[in-house]
Amino acid sequence: MRIPVSEVTPQTKEAEIMGWVHEVRDLGGLAFFLIRDRTGIIQVTIPKKKVEESVLSIIKEVSRESMVRVRGQVKAIDKAPGGRELIPDTFEIISRSDSPMPLDVVEKVPAELDTRLDSRFLDARRPRVSAVFEIRSAVMQAVHEFLFHKGFMHISTPKIVAAATEGGTELFPIAYFEKEAFLNQSPQLYKQMLMGAGFEKVFEIGPIFRAEEHNTTKHLNEATSIDVEVSFSDHNDVMKLLEELIVHVYRFVDDNCQMPLQNIEIGDFTVPESPFPRLAYREAIEIASAKTGELFEYGDDIGTAAEKAIGVEMGGHYFIVDWPTEIKPYYAMPYDHDPSVCKAFDLMHPRMELSSGAQRVHQHDLLVRQIASKGLNPDNFEFYLTPFRYGMPPHAGWGLGAERLVMTMLGLSNIREAVLFPRDRHRLVP
Quick one: what does residue 362 bind among ligand ATP, Mn ion, none, with the CB cut-off 5 to 8 Å set by partner type?
none
Whether the bond between 100 and the residue before it is cis, its omega within 30 degrees of 0, is: yes
Q: Using the rule CB under 6 A, is 184 a contact of ligand ATP? A: no
Quick one: what does residue 355 bind among Mn ion, ligand ATP, none, with the CB cut-off 5 to 8 Å set by partner type?
ligand ATP
* Chosen residue from 401, 406, 410, 416 binding ligand ATP by CB under 6 A: 401
- DSSP secondary-structure letter at 332? B
* Chosen residue from 404, 408, 419, 422 binding ligand ATP by CB under 6 A: 404
Q: Using the rule CB under 6 A, is 205 a contact of ligand ATP? A: no
Smallest distance, ligand ATP to C-beta of residue 218, A: 6
Q: Using the rule CB under 6 A, is 210 a contact of ligand ATP? A: yes
Residue closer to ligand ATP, measured from CB, 48 or 278: 278
Smallest distance, ligand ATP to C-beta of residue 401, A: 2
278-to-260, 291, 322 alpha-carbon distances in Å: 33, 19, 10
Quick one: what does residue 75 bind among ligand ATP, Mn ion, none, with the CB cut-off 5 to 8 Å set by partner type?
none
Quick one: what does residue 354 bind among ligand ATP, Mn ion, none, with the CB cut-off 5 to 8 Å set by partner type?
ligand ATP
| SS3 state of residue 17 | strand
Residues 217-236 within binding reach of ligand ATP (CB under 6 A): 219-220, 223, 225
Q: Are 403 and 201 in contact (CB under 8 A)?
A: no
Residue closer to Mn ion, measured from CB, 43 or 355: 355
Q: Using the rule CB under 6 A, is 300 a contact of ligand ATP? A: no
DSSP-derived secondary structure for 347-395? EEETTEEEEEEEEBP--HHHHHHHHHHTT--GGGGHHHHGGGGS-PPPE
- DSSP secondary-structure letter at 50? T
Smallest distance, ligand ATP to C-beta of residue 394, A: 21
Do strands 341-349 and 318-324 pair parallel, antiparallel, or not at all (unpaired)?
antiparallel
Long-range Cβ pairs for the range 217-220 (8 Å, 24+): 217/413, 217/414, 217/415, 217/416, 218/352, 218/404, 218/407, 218/415, 219/415, 219/424, 220/403, 220/415, 220/416, 220/419, 220/422, 220/423, 220/424
Smallest distance, ligand ATP to C-beta of residue 219, A: 4
Quick one: what does residue 399 bind among Mn ion, ligand ATP, none, with the CB cut-off 5 to 8 Å set by partner type?
ligand ATP
Residue nearest to Mn ion (CB): 356
Q: Using the rule CB under 5 A, is 356 a contact of Mn ion? A: yes
Per CB under 6 A, which region of 71-79, 241-249, 273-281, 395-403 contacts ligand ATP?
Answer: 395-403
Residue closer to ligand ATP, measured from CB, 80 or 183: 183
* Chosen residue from 399, 410, 416, 417 binding ligand ATP by CB under 6 A: 399
Q: Are 359 and 193 in contact (CB under 8 A)?
A: no
Residue closer to Mn ion, measured from CB, 18 or 376: 376
- CA–CA distance, 270 with 125 (Å, rounded to integer): 27
- CA–CA distance, 287 with 334 (Å, rounded to integer): 24
* Chosen residue from 243, 403, 417, 424 binding ligand ATP by CB under 6 A: 403
Q: Identify the CA nearest to 38 among candidates 70, 6, 65.
A: 6
Quick one: what does residue 65 bind among ligand ATP, Mn ion, none, with the CB cut-off 5 to 8 Å set by partner type?
none
Residue 362: exposure state from Cβ atoms within 10 A (0-12, 13-18, ≥19): buried
Residue closer to ligand ATP, measured from CB, 145 or 213: 213
Total interface residues for ligand ATP by CB under 6 A = 14
Per CB under 5 A, which region of 292-300, 324-332, 350-358, 415-423 contacts Mn ion?
Answer: 350-358
| SS3 state of residue 244 | helix
Per CB under 5 A, which region of 122-130, 175-183, 296-304, 349-357 contacts Mn ion?
Answer: 349-357
Q: Quick count: other Cβ atoms within 10 Å of Cβ 101?
A: 14
Smallest distance, Mn ion to C-beta of residue 249, A: 19
Query: In terms of residues, how long is the chain?
Result: 430
Q: What are phi and psi of 351, to 5 degrees?
A: -85, -30
Residues that bind ligand ATP (CB under 6 A): 210, 212, 219-220, 223, 225, 353-356, 399, 401, 403-404
Residues that bind Mn ion (CB under 5 A): 356
